[in-house]
Amino acid sequence: MQEDFFTNLRQIWSRYSSQREIEELCFKAMIDSYDRVRLITGISSLNENGIRDKFVIDLEDLSGILKHSLENCIIRIIPESHNAHTRKRTDIEFFLPFNKRSLIFECKKLSSAERRYLNDGLLRFVELVYAQNEKDAAMVGFVVSKNLKGIIKKLKEMVGKFHIIRLYNRQVLGYEYSFQSLHRRLNTSEILISHLFFHFN
């Protein structure tokens, strides 16, 4: 019986070539979900949490990318995860039980290059409120303005002056409206932030 269990476990894991591949599934799934979520009637009129919730529902119910990993408990999605110590709630947490780590996605609805993207979002990673034991995380902008490229350009400039070590021009898994930045946190550790922007207009 125990031998059957380990045989089954090996078969499940043989689908993935590395831990990195599993982590990348979280980003791929978010980008893939956007293609469906953006088509929901009235999506841009929802508040930040409403849009976030539509992503979570799609990820759990419609994502072919995550289907196998969710069914086999390789990835768990924890929406609006509450931290009792900091009294803050992360928007989406992908928990990866195999290495006991979390990928935190903090979401902001934006009609312009608002400073709250930094002060109510990115700063939480810098101050170790979110992802304190992790080396990477993500910021997601739900952009509800026609000026998508202008907003991304301005936010990129702002991010490039915010506890920055390095600003990268590279895209996240080839997604056009994305970039990455490396930041120094309060305890001097570093965190890599992937910035993804989804247009709802």
In this prediction, residue 81 carries a pLDDT of: 55
Q: For residue 59, what are the β-bridge partners?
A: none
- 57-88: per-residue pLDDT in tens? 999 999 999 998 999 888 999 876 545 454 46
Distance CA 70, CA 50 (A): 23
Sign, CA torsion 121/125/129/135: positive
Distance CA 80, CA 89 (A): 5
At residue 149 the predicted structure's pLDDT band, cuts being 50, 70 and 90, is very high
Q: Which of 37, 22, 60 is nearest to 140 (CA)?
A: 37
Distance CA 93, CA 22 (A): 14
pTM of the model: 0.89
- 106-141: per-residue pLDDT in tens? 999 999 999 999 999 999 999 999 999 999 999 999
Structural contact between residues 187 and 146, judged by C-beta atoms closer than 8 angstroms: no
Tokens of 115: 């400073």
